[in-house]
Amino acid sequence: MNIAHHVERGRRLFPNKTAIIYEDKSYTYKHFDQLVNRTANALRGLGIEKGDRVALFLPNIPEFAIAYLGILKIGAIAVSLNVMFKSAEVGYVLNDCTAKAIVTTASGRLHLIDRDLPHLQHILIAEGTVENDIDFTALINNASPIASAVEMEWDSPAGIVYTSGTTGFPKGATLSHGNIISNISAHNRCSGMSQTDRLLLYVPLFHCFGQNAIFNAGLNVCATIILQRRFELEVVLESIDKYQVTMFFGVPTVFIRLLNQDTSKYDFSSLRYYFSAAAPMPVEIAHMWHHKYKKVIHEGYGLTEASPCASYNHNFRYKFGSIGMPIENVQMQVVDANGNAVSPGELGEIIIKGPNVMLGYWNRPQETREVIKDGWLHSGDIGRMDEEGFFYVADRLKDMINVSGFKVYPSEVENVIYQHHAVAEVAIYGVPDAIKGEIVKANIVCKANSQISESEIYHFCTQRMAAYKIPHKIQFVNSLPKNPTGKVMKRFLRQQECIVKPHLSLI
């Protein structure tokens, strides 16, 4: 098996069918697979072998899709980096996975500090001015367009997607070919996705949601993917109309923005299906959407470590506010602190078992054992199951902050802010936000005789971390609440915040 078999199948069955549209440029399945083959052969020519890690530090451009599948075709491992990462974050990931090569842009190249990357041998530039590195386009243009995906085992690593961990440092969730193939096949069935569908893809390809639930799932049924560099509201609305999009995927933030937008001049009649993931959908938003557009927003639940989908709110029995039931071949339970299943209606931790569960965290056996126990993936999410077997998410065990679907671990942000000379103590936590779900807040205690402004902290952070991790609320305090052992009580801090509900002016 090999994930890249799907693009080869598309070439055989529908060679002249459009696989990808990007900024009015179209790629047929035949042309697209040839570009993937050229990439596979070019990487082999650079000495990339089966099992080597090749990093992708790219926005949503065709080169991401081409390079990703080229990596998989030769049995190498694609490592997805958040395009918003800064130098320190990029360097950490590249060294952690010992990437042999990276495909990036000229702007991304600025975040690569060569002296700090001893394992990196090749830097390929896919967009922008190429100086002393390798021109990705020129390289693949000189390679053969003929190649076949190598056969891989079910548990052969295919991709590493980095996610924040308990230490505050990113951990590489390692997904196998079997993990991903089983997950995209289940998503195809749940959503009724077929070769006649046209999928809009603007959520990040470096994120497991965009990479597997949309991109790989779409190619798996030979659908057409309308790829967009980023979410731009007007461009999205125009594209739905122009390309007669049939399936729309997003996060709650996007659906909230669309509810506030006058969409009357756009034709939505082609849209048969809406899907939300990456963050909980407020039930009031789901009701408002159904009232306005007469269609439900289907929800999936999962996490990067589950490839990502674990459950789905089904067509044949949809329940508002539910994350649905486990997808095929997947089991879910709600358990207490001792790992025992609780009764329907009772709260506990959601755990997951099935072919979607990751191989583990790259080179982190201890942390893998902490989350995968007897084959069950412990999600860290608090939820419940009703009498009919439908699941609901209630809260999180961890202090993880969810900003528009992006996960932020507080200690990672705290580690950066503690580098500021005027900071004595800092506590980072999430507070509710009507649009993003949550935003990052910082409570800061300054050192004696030191003064610092909110703007100075904000500027300090912008130089050192991705934008979504930066505190957008900063409060200077005299002390932080602590328990008898000295641990900061973040639950108490969160309780002090006003719960803000989304404010919508429906048209």
What range defines the domain where residue 490 resides?
401-495
**Does 500 fall in a domain?**
no
390 lies in the same domain as 407: no
Cα separation, 182 vs 309, whole angstroms: 10
Residue ranges of alpha helices (H) inside 192-338 are: 208, 217-220, 233-243, 252-259, 283-293
Is residue 102 within 8 A of residue 117, CB to CB? The reply is no
Residues 180 and 134 in one domain: no
Establish whether the linkage from the previous residue to 308 is cis, with ω within 30° of 0: yes
Q: Are residues 199 and 298 in the same domain?
A: yes
Residue 43 lies in a domain: yes
Q: Is the confidence at residue 141, as pLDDT, over 80?
A: yes
Whether residue 157 lies inside any domain: the answer is no
Q: Name the CA dihedral angle for 42, 47, 53, 54, rounded to a multiple of 10 degrees.
A: -30
Indicate whether 139 and 177 sit together in one domain. no
Domain assignment present for residue 502? The answer is no
Looking at 335, 365, 398, the residue that finishes a domain is: 398
Going from the C-alpha of 501 to that of each of 187, 285, 297, 505, the distances in angstroms are: 31, 10, 19, 13
In a domain, 423, yes or no: yes
Q: What is the pLDDT of residues 209-259, one digit of tens each?
A: 999 999 999 999 999 999 999 999 999 999 999 999 999 999 888 888 898
User: Domain with 180 in it: what CATH number?
Assistant: 3.40.50.12780
Contact 120, 102 (CB under 8 A): yes
The tokens describing 133, both together, are 């590195």
* Boundary (domain end) residue, out of 332, 367, 398: 398
Beta bridge partners of residue 80, listed in sequence order = 56, 161
99 is a domain residue: yes
Mean pLDDT across 344-366: 96
The whole-number pLDDT of residue 494 equals 85
Residue 439, domain CATH: 3.30.300.30
Same domain, 421 and 484: yes
Residues 363 and 374 in one domain: yes
Q: What is the mean pLDDT of residues 403-424?
A: 87
Whether the predicted pLDDT of 507 surpasses 60? no
* Boundary residue ending a domain (364, 398, 432): 398
| 507 within domain boundaries | no
> 87 near 117, Cβ under 8 Å?
no
pLDDT of the residue at 164: 60
Residue 386 lies in a domain: yes
Mind listing the pLDDT tens digit for each residue in 96-138?
A: 999 999 999 999 999 999 999 999 999 999 999 999 999 999 9
What integer is the mean pLDDT of 471-487? 81
At 455, the pLDDT band (50, 70, 90 cuts) reads very high
**pLDDT band at 395; cut points 50, 70, 90:** low
Shared domain check, 283 and 199 = yes
pLDDT class of 168 with cuts at 50, 70, 90: low
Measure the CA–CA gap between 53 and 71, rounded to whole angstroms.
Answer: 9
Write out the E strands in 303-405: 309-312, 325-326, 331-335, 348-353, 360-361, 372-373, 376-385, 391-396, 401-403
Co-location of 238 and 339 in the same domain: yes
Helix (H, G, I), strand (E, B) or coil at 345: coil
Residue corresponding to tokens 């509900």: 501
Quick one: 298 and 442 in the same domain? Answer: no
Gap between the Cα atoms of 98 and 52, Å rounded: 9
Q: Based on the fold, state whether residues 116 and 184 are members of the same structural domain.
A: no
Shared domain check, 220 and 271: yes
Please list the alpha-helical segments (H only) found in 386-495.
Answer: 410-417, 454-462, 490-495
**Structure pTM?**
0.86
Instruction: Indicate if 176 and 119 belong to the same structural domain.
Output: no
The CATH number of the domain holding residue 135 is 3.40.50.980
Q: Which residue has the higher pLDDT, 484 or 252?
A: 252
State how many domains the chain has. Answer: 3
pLDDT of 262: 86
- Give how far Cα 138 sits from Cα of 23, 74, 301, 426, Å: 21, 20, 41, 49
Nearest-angstrom CA–CA distance, 335 and 160: 28
